[in-house]
Chains A and B, each alone.
Chain A
Amino acid sequence: MSDTFGSLVGKDVVVELKNDLSICGTLHSVDQYLNIKLTDISVTDPEKYPHMLSVKNCFIRGSVVRYVQLPADEVDTQLLQDAARKEAMQQKQ
């Protein structure tokens, strides 16, 4: 899974966290736990989290991520789906 994100490094993504906070930023790096580093972040949606105004870069622990919204044109959905299926298969075994 992380290599899927690895191919997206440098692209703009929106990370939605489990605490309902959505952060838009440029994907800087991803690791095996899907911890995400974003640069040049901004809080999407209503700016009801003003404490993030001055933050430029952030590190997000993988376990708190609910969704990662990817740019549609930069992702081969077919490939992504296949990769996910293969990974699910591997995990089952």
Chain B
Amino acid sequence: MSDAEHPNSTPGVEWPENGEQWSDGEENTMEESELLQDVVEEDEEIDLYNEETFGLDAVDLLFVDGKQSPAPPASPPPPSPNEASPPRPKVQIQAQAAAGLCHEARSSRERGAQVQLLDDPAVMRTVEGPPSLKSLDSAIVDCGRSSCWGDLNANTVSRSGVSGDRAIVGVIDRSARGRIRSPLQLPGERRPLQVLPLCGIERVRWVSGGFLSPSPPRFQALAPKMMQVRFGPNSPRPGSCFSPFPSPVHRFRLPVLATQLHPQHKRLLSQRPPGSRRRLKSWDHYAELMSAREKEWIIKLQMMQLQSENPLQDDYYYQEYYRRMEVKLAEEEMMGDRSKREPPKLTTPYVTKTVSYTPVVHIEGSLGQVTVSTCHSPRRAIDAVHAHTPEEQKDIRQQRLEVLNTIEKCYVTLLGVEAAERMKTTVTDEEENRRLMKTMQRGVEEINSQLRNLNSMESMEEFLPCLLVLKGKKLLARLLPFLSHDLGLHLLRAITMHLPVLMSRDADEGLPVLYPPLRTVIGSLSFSQLVSVLQEFTAALPDSKDSRLTLACQNKFGLSLLYALLSQGERLLTSDLPMEPSLGDFETWTDTVFQVARQLSHTSLAEPLFLPSNLLTLFCRYLDKRTVQQLRNNMESSTGYLAVGS
């Protein structure tokens, strides 16, 4: 039977009695399942095909008769150039047949199993197939084997007699690396996973194909350089690569057309040209480090990484290069130099952009970003700069951030100063005391310089950025006690000058925090200084008809400041301490008092933080009783308690 189909086969080859000859020493159980799956995959394909073609009885019929099935051609058409064939997801894998009969089939135990299988083809059994080199569906590896019929014939000598024998599969020895040749090429499609009665299929396959059924053909890995060819026209279609599991479509094949090729035939059609045969000689020691599935998986990953929705931007050189090459080829084709040939090109699928999440979580008003760990950014540092601001607000934010940063640094120094102050009270040693004083002074100066550096503009704007921020107000409030008298006065002036702005932008009511230290400063003012400060109050503002006075009446802090100033003036006047008034001080003072009194009586007043007790006394001296009464009512209505006075 076998001789009839393989006239060239070595006559007299019997069923191998010694199974050891068929198997090599190495056994890799890991690949056994792989092999098995490929076996069953192809088995099923063949089974289906045979059923469709010949009917259910074909199996035994063929086995008995040994006649070749008409459907599969005895000799496949000459292998077409691979470049022309459509890209196949499966790489043609062939076993190398360096020494055809060197490696034999499985051990006798397998044969024993085979015997059982032979008895009952209907038995579904999981047969441990001999380990395969690679699965049929490996996308990349191509042992470069050409499956010429000649080869087939030459090497099937030993197989011819092993029809239906599991040993056929066993022949395909993994470790042999394809020394047992599989003359068959793999079809392009993935074969479904299934467990099938191998025995019958073996027969069928053998018979119908007329060639050895290497359902798990032993394949040798391509030398790495050969792998590149797979990315040509034969590049695996990404879609089919992407699932490690075969498509279930194959499992349930619909009624087939007459022209459907036998799976083995399909394989043969896609076989490589004979020239690649010599590559079989090269032995790759690393051929089976990875199974075909693993390789596919890696390739899938790599292909996925290549996907991009903007290939021109991501891979400019490649795209451009191949565009130019294609242009060149088109030109050549026009000139009739050569037939149009598609240059090998790696095509990656273009993907639509996935929904982008916002990894940056920004809470309004915060300085930075919340630390959010995501899968893309496991740890994200908090930036001091907010990334999402619209452009026009960026500068303001930048400035604000700058100010806040400076304030924070000043705070550190301030804490040191305060600590030194505390220590000063406990330390009695003179030396220590002096050292502490020095530390404090240095600290204060540092803060001052820092705050002034904030605004490199005119000196009038000093301290303003700091004052506008609540943190800055608190800082200055704590700093004031440490400032010298002049510096304190300077700050007071600055505050008075900018009072309207401060009051209008004091959303968080931070100004009152400045009141107590300022009161202390005011308490140390001389009369002239006081008058000059008060003048600011009554002076008309440049951009509005209101004076600071009118505005201050509405504001707690402003009013309190005003009261404090007036109170200080009164105190100075009524005290017995010698004053050194400058020229015109008294007039200014009187004018101011009148103005203030007038204003206070006319407008509704805010509730001050503190109502000095000598205010009414002051007013009494300058104003008539009626006005004073009016003032008193006004002031009292806002404060809720009596203003002590005569």
Chain A residues near B474: list those with CB within 8 A. Answer: 78
B residues 356-371 near A (Cβ < 8 Å) are 370
Chain B residues near A78: list those with CB within 8 A. Answer: 474
The stretch that binds A, out of B132-140, B200-208, B328-336, B408-416, is: B408-416
Q: How many A-B residue pairs have CB under 8 A?
A: 11
Categorize the interface residue count of chain A: under 10
Complex formed: what's the CA distance from A78 to B412 in Å? Answer: 13
Say whether A86 faces chain B, with CB atoms less than 8 Å apart.
yes
Chain B residues near A66: list those with CB within 8 A. Answer: 370
Complex formed: what's the CA distance from A78 to B411 in Å? Answer: 12
Residue-by-residue, is B410-436 near A (CB-CB < 8 Å gives 1, otherwise 0)? Answer: 011001000000000000000000000
Residue-by-residue, is A55-89 near B (CB-CB < 8 Å gives 1, otherwise 0)? Answer: 00000000000100000000000100010011001
Chain B residues near A82: list those with CB within 8 A. Answer: 411, 415
Residue-by-residue, is B455-491 near A (CB-CB < 8 Å gives 1, otherwise 0)? Answer: 0000000000000000000100000000000000000
Chain A residues near B370: list those with CB within 8 A. Answer: 66
Categorize the interface residue count of chain B: under 10
Main secondary structure of the interface of B (DSSP, over half): helix
A residues 19-38 near B (Cβ < 8 Å) are none
Main secondary structure of the interface of A (DSSP, over half): helix
Chain A residues near B412: list those with CB within 8 A. Answer: 85, 89
Q: Report the minimal beta-carbon distance from A20 to chain B, rounded to whole angstroms.
A: 11
Chain A residues near B415: list those with CB within 8 A. Answer: 82, 85-86, 89
Chain B residues near A86: list those with CB within 8 A. Answer: 415
**Nearest neighbor of B419 in chain A, beta-carbon distance:** A86
**Nearest neighbor of A77 in chain B, beta-carbon distance:** B474
Chain B residues near A89: list those with CB within 8 A. Answer: 412, 415
Complex formed: what's the CA distance from A82 to B415 in Å? Answer: 7
Complex formed: what's the CA distance from A89 to B411 in Å? Answer: 11
Complex formed: what's the CA distance from A89 to B415 in Å? Answer: 11
Q: Report the minimal beta-carbon distance from B155 to chain A, rounded to whole angstroms.
A: 64
**Nearest neighbor of B513 in chain A, beta-carbon distance:** A78
Q: Report the minimal beta-carbon distance from A4 to chain B, rounded to whole angstroms.
A: 16
Complex formed: what's the CA distance from A47 to B572 in Å? Answer: 65
Q: Report the minimal beta-carbon distance from A91 to chain B, rounded to whole angstroms.
A: 12
**Nearest neighbor of B418 in chain A, beta-carbon distance:** A82
B residues 524-579 near A (Cβ < 8 Å) are none
**Nearest neighbor of A83 in chain B, beta-carbon distance:** B415
Complex formed: what's the CA distance from A66 to B412 in Å? Answer: 25
Q: Report the minimal beta-carbon distance from A86 to chain B, rounded to whole angstroms.
A: 6
Which residues from chain B sit less than 8 Å from chain A, CB to CB?
370, 408, 411-412, 415, 474
A-B contact pairs, 11 of them (CB 8 A): A66-B370, A78-B474, A82-B411, A82-B415, A85-B408, A85-B411, A85-B412, A85-B415, A86-B415, A89-B412, A89-B415
Given contacts A66-B370, A82-B415, A85-B411, 8 further A-B contacts (CB under 8 A): A78-B474, A82-B411, A85-B408, A85-B412, A85-B415, A86-B415, A89-B412, A89-B415
A-B pairs, 8 with minimum CB distance: A85-B411, A89-B412, A82-B415, A85-B412, A85-B415, A86-B415, A85-B408, A78-B474
